Amino acid sequence: MPKSFVIPRAAEPILRRQAGLLSTVQCEELGIGREVRRRLVGQLRWTSPARGVYDTDPVPLAGRVRDDWFDHAASWRTWFALLLHGPDAVATGCCALVLHGVSGLPRDFPLEVAREDRSPRRTRHDVVVVDYAPFPTVQVGDRVVARIDHAAAQALRRLPRQNALAVLDDLARRHGFTPTRLAELHDLVRRRHGSARLHELFGLVDPRSESFAESAARLSFHDNGVPPDDLQVRFAADGVVVARVDFVWRLPAGRWLVVEIDGVGPHSTQQALVRDAPRQNQLLAGGQTIMLRFRPAENDRPGGIGAQVAKVLTRHHWQPGRYPYEGTPVKLPTPALSGTGT
């Protein structure tokens, strides 16, 4: 095999879709024969994570450096599960949610597939072959996938509470799950064993949550008895919006507690952190706003972020219900400092 071997052009869209993975069948269809594959693996140019599956990126998944690593890893694990069990494997549960583009799943979400003929196969490489009662499916690309509502019902009961709420928030925010559709999904969930702990989460769904970290923080606030008065609130000075913040609580004497979750979404880059500095100055200039900033990992501590926020709110005599949502920007009591807000 010449060293100049390159992957056929016809493989490029498949590799983009399948996170760099190919099955033995696909390789044969593309003209990449057994001997070629054997040499590529032997030369460490490809790897074979399981029999019948090839990874065209020799760098181990955990060691890849890319901005979209979490999305890439979720896609890689999903396609690994599907290719491992052949072309008639049906994506279900979390794997189906990945193909539907739903976010909020944990890094090591459960891998499961079903088979169109419902024939059993043994679990391989932690990929479970499930046998659900018949459920509706859709076509996503060239794969059969559980319909998004049934995929969610299959997946939610196997997820930690934080991730379950994040998935529900994302369904409401980006996938058209209105209150009516969420109620229908709730009915689907009720029929499944182990769903009791999920019931309260449906009452907490908020499409304004923009990331897993925000959903997890909001759940921690709820668990600690301090649900935020509002989310994604805009603050304005002299009629100009100078900031939009993640969470707010209305304190006595016209004061505010603001909580921001750093390191995700719009706060994730160094440029964003630099941009946030003048914005924070504008919020705090009048002395009427208290700001707390947290990293997502702080929510993993006992009590989570909510326990820390609860202490501050108790100190400042917060009580719920003092701020009815109006959808209009909060007016800062004094002119903002010079600088441009976002």
Low-confidence ranges of the chain (pLDDT < 50): 1, 266-274, 336-342
What pLDDT does residue 201 have?
Answer: 98
Strand order in the sheet with 111-115: 127-129, 111-115, 89-91, 143-146, 137-140
Check residue 279 and give its pLDDT: 67
- Can you give the pLDDT at residue 285? 73
Tokens of 49: 């994570």
- Cβ 160 vs Cβ 107: under 8 Å: no
Q: What is the pTM of this model?
A: 0.90
Question: Please, which residues have CB within 8 angstroms of residue 175's CB and are 6 or more apart in sequence?
Answer: 100, 101, 102, 148
Beta strands in the chain (DSSP E): 21-23, 47-50, 53-55, 89-91, 111-115, 127-129, 137-140, 143-146, 230-237, 240-250, 256-261, 289-294, 330-331
Write out the DSSP string of 204-259: T--TT--SHHHHHHHHHHHHTT---SEEEEEEEETTEEEEEEEEEEEPGGG-EEEE
Q: Are 91 and 141 in contact (CB under 8 A)?
A: no
Burial of 73 (0-12, 13-18, 19+ CB in 10 A): middle
- Other CB atoms within 10 A of residue 276 CB: 19
From first CA to last CA, the distance across the chain in angstroms is 56
SS percent in the chain: helix, strand, coil, step 5: 40, 20, 40
Angle at 274 between CA 273 and CA 277, to 5 degrees: 90
